[in-house]
Chains A and B, each alone.
Chain A
Amino acid sequence: MYPHERSLVKRLEGKPFALLGINSDPKDKLRQVLKKENITWRSWWDGGNTDGPIATAWNVSGWPTIYVLDHKGVIRYKGPREKALDKAVDTLLAELEKEK
């Protein structure tokens, strides 16, 4: 996942786009991974395990779980990966562009 996410974030630099993580690792491990994998996007730290409050509220039972939201905060896609994720984001960015 990391290389693809890195390239997505890089490609969309300067666009009205954000990748936000909800991370279930213990703090020490998360710090290490952020550094090692050069992760620049922000993540909420969800308590150090998979039963964290955010993952529980969102009924997440498998990782990774992906949601794509439009600029109004509406859930538009659930679960796209790789190319499908790129396409979803590009579609929503084009929509936003049109509305301007």
Chain B
Amino acid sequence: MKRLLCFSCFLAGFIGASTLQAATSEGKLSADYEKLSKEFDEKRQAYFKAYENAKTDQERENLPVKYPDSREYAKKLLAMAEQNPADPGALDALVWIVQNGGVYDRETGPKVLALLKEHHLQSEKLKDVCGRLAYGSLKESHDFLQTALEKNPHDDVKGAAALALGRRLLQDSSKNGAEAEKYFNLVIDKHGSKSQKKAARGELFELHHLAIGKVAPEIEGQDVDGDKFKLSDYRGKVVVLDFWGDW
């Protein structure tokens, strides 16, 4: 307790009284984070409930409650995390922002990644962050993923980072195949969970067999009535393959 007190005195003098509370109690930001994320979830559930209860299209368009604005919550959570970025609650807040799309925002995204990189580079929770960074045009993503791949100690974070790096390369240009392949092989041979290895094998298969100019692999299966048919039945025709679902 004595040590904690001294520590807090030091911090109080160093960073100013306004952030004293945040800096001295470990759970402070965690509680703030829980409160905000819970509030968001409750608003979201209220929206879904209202939507389900609405009977007509008109009612659905004029629901009494709105879907909560994730950007607004991202801003609040970022401001909170910036108070004391090394706090575990700040980590949760930053991960929340990523999971809710805030990392694709040009203003929020770079700040979130910079804080995660500086204060939470060793965290297991970066797995999901890296996964999200496979997509989006944020240029800071590449550096973040490279750093996570090199310095994060967890195998599935490294796996997620390598997978995302490969996927980003392919999105940038179809000519990046060879380089992307190195990352996918890294996931298969060295890092990565079972599901990450499976995903990397899928990407390699797509690179080798589903590229423009390749003969499409055979598809054999049944329609909804159980009648069998195959793709090669349609040789001689121009074919559009449409992977679809009604959702």
Contacts and interface: CB of A to CB of B under 8 A. Distances in A.
Contacts, number: 147
A75 B238 contact: no
B235 A72 contact: yes
Q: What is the size category of the interface that chain B forms with chain A?
A: 20 to 34
B246 interface: yes
B242 A18 contact: no
Interface in A30-75: 30-31, 33-34, 42-46, 50, 53-60, 63-75
B238 A70 contact: yes
B239 A23 contact: no
B221 A44 contact: yes
B170 to A, nearest CB: 11
A89 B240 contact: yes
Interface stretch (B58-66, B147-155, B198-206): B198-206
A58 B214 CA distance: 13
Interface stretch (B25-33, B37-45, B80-88, B226-234): B226-234
Given A71-B237, A93-B238, A24 B243 contact: yes
Given A20-B234, A64-B244, A74-B213, 10 more contacts: A18-B238, A20-B239, A24-B243, A30-B224, A33-B246, A34-B224, A54-B243, A66-B240, A66-B241, A66-B242
